[in-house]
Structure 1
């Protein structure tokens, strides 16, 4: 990908900036003028028939709150870039790179084209087998709704606790559940496929639960089951420029290494 050197250089600068600049204050992660300021999110409206949704709870939640179009359709890649950054405090470099990857997989132009959320469920492109929250495509063609038994088992697997004793998912919890899902999918799905790329992609998706959502089970219940941003919620990333690719990949790497340890046990 031609843009990779540019994005990585940009990301390094943002990472340095995060190290030297003061963090955002809790309660003020979302900048003034954007949806979610002070934890006050636009009205939640569940999707209706004909609306487009995908297997990503975070994007579905944005449409359910009207941050992205409520019908989940005709979203430009540039629009997605800006709104993910504002909503979840991913870094500008991260938000530039990920929609570019999505556009490339869908064989669309980042600069000129649009997409529907359901387009993102291109099997073995963006969507993959052994999800933590969805049945495999072979077992359920509609990837939009979460598979509640998977979600509840994931949340109940939390072994961490915050300072108030509330349950938290840990990196080890997520690694363990990723391996469990892969083993189960291999048995249940006769068309099960995986690759190193999809294993890394799965670890990346799971790592969002630990970074942006801080592993907090109470918040994840809303985002994974109802695909709703809780009242008063804000991203757990306080860094000035948001969650960089470098910082995120450190978490992804540890989760990935954890899956290797789980396989050996």
Structure 2
């Protein structure tokens, strides 16, 4: 698909411009987990629709108030918290910068802007057109939580089936759904992400209890036995998982063109671009 080819190009181009230390040194960096205890966000702390970033903020890898985020801040947090290398996050962070008029930083709340990186048919949030697209929704998450019955893990097959079911449900509930190759690619990558950070980034097998805590509590399940991956998570590991998930999802477009943010005069100005 043309968009997937463009996405791959962007990931390579962006990550090639990021200067970082040798991963052999970074990979052995000791994390003092006493400095990263989970703390629930306070009333003035900002959170968004991404459980992965919210979790990093709840553990203090990102600013706990959810503010003053930029490329370097998030790439450092993603590495320290998840052992994710720059090419696994850089394009998503680049897209997130388009959700605000601030030229230097953005907040976790900014990411809720519909159609830039936030999308319909989420695994844990309502569609924008149907109400609250920011906070965790247990009813929606049940599709994932109840998947792959009879075993105690999720994998790429179950992840693809969940994507297919969530899209089918969203198409019924939301006549204004945006479902193009852009959203499909983001959804598949996100599914590969949760399997990787909560499980084995090479096999895409993740314990159900870890994944459920991650989504429901936006917490790293350290007390339950989770450990930061020894294997670096990057484009080379995420790509095969994302492709396998996409194949199992049997995706078809709902029509339309990708939504993009347009116009500095309003952070909610959206146009269809095709």
TM-score (norm 1): 0.77
Compared CA separation, residues 72 and 105, structure 1 to 2 (3 A): closer
Report the counterpart of residue 234 of structure 1 in structure 2: 227
> Is residue 136 from structure 1 mapped to residue 127 from structure 2 by the alignment?
yes
User: Residue 198 of structure 2: SS of its match in structure 1?
Assistant: coil
CA contact (8 A) 1:157 1:169 kept: yes
> Is residue 201 from structure 1 mapped to residue 192 from structure 2 by the alignment?
no
Separation in 2, partners of 1:55, 1:219: 19
CA contact (8 A) 1:93 1:244 kept: yes
Report the counterpart of residue 164 of structure 1 in structure 2: none
Report the counterpart of residue 79 of structure 2 in structure 1: 85
Q: How many angstroms does 1:235 deviate by?
A: 2.8
- Matched residues, number: 236
Q: How many angstroms does 1:158 deviate by?
A: 2.5
TM-score (norm 2): 0.75
CA contact (8 A) 1:55 1:145 kept: yes
Q: How many angstroms does 1:59 deviate by?
A: 0.9
Separation in 2, partners of 1:75, 1:133: 23
Report the counterpart of residue 264 of structure 2 in structure 1: none
Aligned ranges 1:249-260 → 2 under 5 Å: 249-260=239-250
Separation in 1, partners of 2:147, 2:95: 31
Compared CA separation, residues 105 and 8, structure 1 to 2 (3 A): same
Separation in 2, partners of 1:144, 1:261: 24
Per-residue CA distance 1:178-220 (angstroms, 9 max, x = gap): 1111111111113212111101111111111211112211111
Separation in 1, partners of 2:111, 2:117: 6
> Is residue 245 from structure 1 mapped to residue 235 from structure 2 by the alignment?
yes
Report the counterpart of residue 216 of structure 1 in structure 2: 207
Compared CA separation, residues 93 and 153, structure 1 to 2 (3 A): closer
Which range is displaced more, 41-50 or 84-93? 41-50
Give the gaps of 5 or more residues in structure 2: 1-5, 200-205, 254-274
Alignment RMSD (CA, Å): 3.1
Separation in 2, partners of 1:212, 1:123: 25
Separation in 2, partners of 1:170, 1:224: 16
Higher relative contact order (CA 8 A, sep 6+): 1
Separation in 1, partners of 2:220, 2:54: 10
Separation in 1, partners of 2:168, 2:106: 33
